[in-house]
Amino acid sequence: MSKLIRIGTRDSQLALWQAKIVQSQLEHLGHKTVLVPVKSTGDIVLDKPIYELGITGVFTKTLDIAMLNGDIDIAVHSMKDVPTVLPNGIVQAAVIKRGNVRDCLVFKDNEEFLSQREAVIATGSLRRRAQWLNRYPTHTMVGLRGNVNSRLEKLENNDWNGAIFAAAGLGRLDIKPEESFNLEWMIPAPAQGAIMVTAIESDEETLTILKEINHEESEIATAIERKFLNLLEGGCSAPIGALAFVKEEEVHFQGVLLSLDGTKKIEIQRTVALGAHHDLAQFCADYIIERGGNRLMDALKSNKKANIFSTKTLTEDQKQRFSDAVVSESSDFIKISLNRMTKTVLRPMPKNVIITSKNAVESLLTNFASEDLKFENIYCVGRKTKRYVERKIGKVKHTENSAKALANYLIEYIDGTAVTYFCSDVRLDDLPTILAENHIAVDEVIAYETKYDAQKIDDTVEGVMFYSPSTVQSYKQENDDNIIAFCIGETTAKEAKKHFKDVRVAKMPTVESVVDLVNQHYED
């Protein structure tokens, strides 16, 4: 019986198109397959942090984790999105025959603006921006994010002359407008237009199968481009272009490194015989570095300023989760002061207890020994709080994702008519108000105090991550409204909407889900 190959893919329209190409090639060769669209990694638990496993790619990590967990056999990626160093235990298994490598300009009315001093061009790519400004230094560049369809829509709805896309994406979705042409002079991103298939390094049977669909010339060309990128220590956030192709037993290569504003450009073209190409990337990277590329890269790194700010200090694992397009900074905009509680709080021992944060747990454990906290029924808000309570105090009877949802649950199912609520001095009114209106007595114990500790953020910051109404209120004490608010949940978003026009809410009430929300905005 032949092996069923589970093909992992993201669930976007373009990703599914790519996965189906791989599926059709495998099935044409007689292999049985099934597509497995993978959505979120929010609930996946690994033995180690993702950065220790070498998982760094924002667009690839979901499939990397699914593969390491044994949920899929292979993963299909846009090759330009794959980090040049793959996660531990995962290898490149095939490169499909490459499609259109070029960038494509989609314009609004006509092409006359190309010969004019003033024009507005949209792109979310630093590489495209730098190359365009190098050629048209008086033009104005504006940011453009989102999937292919939403970017075309933004072009239609804005007063721009044109926008730059990957020609392969437009062609594969069959949505390339007539008002467009390929930019033959623009050097594409390394591996643009190529599809990579990855697999587990130890899965020899699958690796053997995938060799059957590997296109050798595309593999050679993309390997050179990606090595060139790796040697220059670049990523999606550096203006680096690379293009290699095989023709008549020769390998041709073009590479370029630019400053962000396009005023400085170092480029190389080189052709070698096929078979003598193994040192081509090294030679070209050395050429760029020796002619000022190292100084240019250092300047790029030092010029990186934050475009996203988190109002809560992020862990190393959370920072590693960001896209290469994100430069993040973080600081605790809320400082917590644990209150002193006397033993009268436990006399008599509360039967029903509500805990909505880890801070309340910390306060309880600072004042009392865990064995003294013999609560009969503990109710929580948030799964992380629930896990923390069960690790530190005892079994949680029920949890909800918001205080309002928990209040509505307790109206129906509470054992008794009274509850003790360990909370902050700054809290929303939903929970105690709903309970009181339904004749459930609430004894509020102020377990900790919340103090605002905001700082003024840089003008380069485009979006701010918020985790509670208090973080929004703290931010507003020092900063203006001209940002995108990325919120952990609806309660936080409700407060944010009082101040900001663009408010977005994470799918799950976790920091990681807020990071994913930010990455979605910066998807190129």
Q: Quick check: helix, strand or coil at residue 308?
A: strand
Specify whether the CB–CB gap between 510 and 42 falls below 8 A: yes
The rounded distance, in Å, linking the Cα atoms of 203 and 58 is 24
Residue 42 tokens, joined: 């929010």
Contacts with 94 (C-beta within 8 Å, 6 or more apart), sequence order: 22, 196, 197, 210, 211, 213, 214, 215, 219
The CB density around residue 345, as the number of other CB atoms within 10 Å, is 16
Specify whether the CB–CB gap between 487 and 476 falls below 8 A: no
Residue 242 tokens, joined: 């690379």
Q: What secondary structure does DSSP assign to 158-219, as a single string?
A: S--SEEEEEHHHHHHTT---SSEEEETTSPPPTTTT-EEEEEETT-HHHHHHHHTT--HHHH
Residue 73 tokens, joined: 């056999």
DSSP summary character for residue 80: G
Q: Which is catalytic among the residues 81, 103, 324, 524?
A: 81
Active site residue 81: yes
The rounded distance, in Å, linking the Cα atoms of 46 and 44 is 7
Q: What secondary structure does DSSP assign to 344-385, as a single string?
A: GGGSSPPSEEEE-SHHHHHHHHHHS-GGG---SEEEEESHHH
The rounded distance, in Å, linking the Cα atoms of 328 and 305 is 8
Specify whether the CB–CB gap between 63 and 9 falls below 8 A: yes
The rounded distance, in Å, linking the Cα atoms of 448 and 445 is 9
The CB density around residue 472, as the number of other CB atoms within 10 Å, is 25
Q: What secondary structure does DSSP assign to 460-492, as a single string?
A: T--EEEE-SHHHHHHHHTT--S-SEEEESSHHH
The residue type of 328 is S
Specify whether the CB–CB gap between 426 and 362 falls below 8 A: no
For residue 378, the cross-strand partners are 353
DSSP summary character for residue 249: T
Contacts with 48 (C-beta within 8 Å, 6 or more apart), sequence order: none
* Residues identified as active-site: 81
